[in-house]
Structure 1
Amino acid sequence: MGDETDGSSMAAQGAPDIEENNKGGLLGRLIGAFRAPDPIDEQDQRAEISATGTTGALSPLGMANLRRMRVEDVAVPKVEIVAVPLDISKDDLVKVFRDSGMTRLPVFDGTLDTPVGLIHLKDFALEHGFNGPSTDFALRPMVRPLLYAPPSMPIGVLLQKMQNDRMHMALVIDEYGGVDGLVTIEDLIEQVIGEIEDEHDIAEGSPWVEEKPGIYLVQARAPLDEFEAKIGIKLADEEDEEEIDTMGGLVFMMTGRVPTRGEVVPHDSGAEFEVVDADPRRIKRLRVRLPEAKDG
C-alpha cells in the first residue's frame, strides 16, 4: 500500500496523493457503483492461491467489494502500524519517515490508543526541511485530523466519507475505543481496481530486481518457475508444483497463512524469504536471500 500503509499497501500508509476534489473522476465512479448495486458474477468470486498468494475465502477485485467487504478485511493490524509520539524530536521524525517510506504517519499522545491525528511529510518538509536547524520544533501545529471507523463499516461507506472529508487515512477503533488497525484510501481502492504501484515498487515488466549479489526484491506475482530458473534453485516440491504458480503462492503454502510484513520465512534450501510488503489479505513483495548471500 507506497501510506502504511505503503502502508499499502500500507500496504501502504504513505501512498501518492489522489486528487481530492475530483468528484466526477475515479472516486466519483466508485462511489456511484457503491450506491447502485449490480449483480455479482460468480466467476468474479474465485480467488486462486497459486496466482495471488491470498486466501481463497477472500473476495476478488470488483465493484461489489464496496458493499461486501468490511473495514476489518483490509485494515493493517495494530502491531504493524508505523506511528510517532506527539513529543518526538525532529531528527527522530526524519528517521521514521526515511526508514518507513511513508508520507503519512499517525500521531499519538502517550500510546497509540490515544491518537491525536496524523503528520504529512509535505507539511513537515515545507515547514522545517530536512537540513534546517533542530531548534523550535513542535509537532502539534502540523498535526492534521484523521478519520475513525468501526471494523464492521462497509469499505464503500468509508471511501465515501474519505472523499467527502478529504482525508486519506482512518484508524480502526474497536468496541472499547482502542485502536485496532489502520486503513488508507489506497487500501480501499485497491479492492476494486487492483494494486496501485508507485515509485517504490518494482518497475512494470520486471517481476524482480537483484539488489545485491544473491539478494532479490521480488513481486509476489512473479512466476515461480521463471525465478527458479534465474537463481538455479528448486523451491517447490514436486507434489506442489501444479498448485503453486507464483512466489507469493509459494510463501503462502509454506506458512499456511498470509505472513506479516517484516516476517522472515526460511526455506529448506537455505534461502530466506523476507516479507517486504503485505496486507491482511495478500503478500505483495518479498526479499529473497540466497544461501550464498547469507553466508557472505
Structure 2
Amino acid sequence: MNAPEKPPSKFTQLLKNKLWGLLPQQRAETREDVLENLRQAEEDGIVARDAYDMMQRVMYVSDLKVRDIMVPRSNMAFVEREHALDQCLDVMVDSGHSRFPVVDNEKDMIVGILLAKDLLHFFDDDNKQRFNLRDLTRPVVFIPESKRLNVLLSEFRENRNHMAIVVDEFGAIAGLVTIEDVLEQIVGNIEDEHDVEDDESLIRTLEDGEVIVKAVLPISEFNEHFQCYLSEANSDTIGGLVSQTIGHVPMRGESVEIDKFNFEVIHSDSRRIHLIRVKQG
C-alpha cells in the first residue's frame, strides 16, 4: 500500500506561486500572442532587450523571401572565367567581398563560385604562373527568389554553403544571397539618426507626425495600419515593393509614388533598403 502523499511545504507553495505569476495565464494561440508575452517578459526584466529584439526578428524571418533581401543582379560583383590573377584581385579589392560568382561571357552564365582565400597560395611569385581560375571555381547553388529565409538558412547550414545564386521564375539570374544576408535579418543592427532601430515596432510616428517604417515591414501589416490595399503579389515587404517598383536598390534620398503614398528611402546600403519615410498624398 502506497504511503499518503505529503502536502507541499510553505516554501514549495510560495515558489510555485511565484513561478506561476511569471507565466502567461492564457495559452498563446497566435504569433501576436507570443510576441505580446515576450514583450511583457522584456518589460518585467525576465528577458534582456537584445534577446527580445532577436526573438522578435526570428518570429518574422519566416515571412521574408529571398527576393526581399537578395543583392540584385545589377549590383553583383563578379569575376570572369578568363580573368587573370591581377584582374581577380582588382575585383576583390574594389568590392571588399570574400565570395564571387564566376561568369562565362554573360552574367546569366554563372559557372561557379570563387573564394578570395583560394587566391592566397598564388601571391608567391613562383606560384603565380600556375594560376588558373577554372581550377579554383567551386560548385554554384541556384535557388528560386520565392524561397523563404528560414528554409534557406537551414539549407545553408546543412550543406555548408555561404552563397547562392537567385533565379527568377524563368530561370534568369535575379541576384545573389549569402548566409550573412540571412543572419542580418535576425541579429543585424540598423544605425540611423532617427533611432528607429531602438523601437520595437516596425512603424514609428515621430513627434512632428513623420512616419518611418522599417523595410522589413510586411505589406499586410502596412495595409492594416494605413487602411490601404498595396499589392502583395510580387513582394512580401515594403522594402521589396519599393526596390521592385524603382527597378534597383535605391540610394538614400530616392523616392517613388505607389498608389496614394510617397516612399522616400532614408537609409540603405548597396544591398538593401533599411528605413523608409512614408507620406500620404
Q: TM-score range by the shorter chain?
A: 0.5 to 0.7
Percent identity for Structure 1 against Structure 2:
27
State the shift of 1:88 in Å. 0.8
Q: Structure 1 CA distance, aligned partners of 2:100 and 2:167?
A: 17
Please state whether the residue corresponding to 1:87 is helix, strand or coil: coil
Q: Structure 2 CA distance, aligned partners of 1:73 and 1:262?
A: 13
Q: After superposition, what is the alpha-carbon deviation per residue over 1:128-163, rounded to whole angstroms, capped at 9, x for unaligned? A: 127776433211111112321101111111111111
* Counterpart selection for 1:165 from 159, 171, 174: 159
Higher relative contact order, chain-length normalized (CA < 8 Å, sep 6+): 1
Please state whether the residue corresponding to 2:88 is helix, strand or coil: helix
What are the residue-to-residue correspondences of 1:191-202 with 2, within 5 Å? 191-195=185-189
Is structure 2 residue 73 aligned with structure 1 residue 78? yes
Q: Structure 2 CA distance, aligned partners of 1:98 and 1:188?
A: 24
Please state whether the residue corresponding to 1:221 is helix, strand or coil: coil
Is structure 2 residue 96 aligned with structure 1 residue 101? yes
Larger radius of gyration: 2
* Structure 1 gap ranges (5+): 1-36, 46-59, 196-218, 225-238, 249-255, 267-272, 284-296
Could you say if the C-alpha distance between residues 63 and 107 of structure 1 is closer, same or farther in structure 2, counting changes exceeding 3 Å? same
Q: Structure 2 CA distance, aligned partners of 1:262 and 1:93?
A: 27
What are the residue-to-residue correspondences of 1:158-237 with 2, within 5 Å? 158-195=152-189, 220-223=191-194
Please state whether the residue corresponding to 2:180 is helix, strand or coil: helix
Could you say if the C-alpha distance between residues 221 and 263 of structure 1 is closer, same or farther in structure 2, counting changes exceeding 3 Å? closer
Please state whether the residue corresponding to 1:64 is helix, strand or coil: helix
Identify, as 1 or 2, the structure richer in helix: 2
- Work out whether residues 113 and 140 of structure 2, in 8 Å CA contact, stay in contact via their aligned partners in 1: yes
Could you say if the C-alpha distance between residues 109 and 42 of structure 1 is closer, same or farther in structure 2, counting changes exceeding 3 Å? farther
Q: Structure 1 CA distance, aligned partners of 2:96 and 2:271?
A: 16
- TM-score, L = length of structure 2: 0.53
- TM-score, L = length of structure 1: 0.51
* Counterpart selection for 1:153 from 127, 147, 152: 147
Could you say if the C-alpha distance between residues 134 and 98 of structure 1 is closer, same or farther in structure 2, counting changes exceeding 3 Å? same
What are the residue-to-residue correspondences of 1:271-290 with 2, within 5 Å? 277-282=269-274
- Work out whether residues 97 and 103 of structure 1, in 8 Å CA contact, stay in contact via their aligned partners in 2: yes
Match of 1:142 in 2: 136
Please state whether the residue corresponding to 1:116 is helix, strand or coil: strand
Counterpart amino acid of 2:65?
Answer: R
* Structure 2 gap ranges (5+): 1-27, 37-54, 196-205, 216-240, 255-264, 276-281
Match of 1:243 in 2: 210
Is structure 2 residue 36 aligned with structure 1 residue 41? no
Aligned residues: 182
State the shift of 1:189 in Å. 1.4
Could you say if the C-alpha distance between residues 257 and 116 of structure 1 is closer, same or farther in structure 2, counting changes exceeding 3 Å? same
Counterpart amino acid of 1:40?
Answer: R
Could you say if the C-alpha distance between residues 140 and 245 of structure 1 is closer, same or farther in structure 2, counting changes exceeding 3 Å? same
- Work out whether residues 61 and 194 of structure 1, in 8 Å CA contact, stay in contact via their aligned partners in 2: no
State the shift of 1:111 in Å. 1.1
CA RMSD of aligned residues (A): 3.9
Could you say if the C-alpha distance between residues 261 and 280 of structure 1 is closer, same or farther in structure 2, counting changes exceeding 3 Å? closer
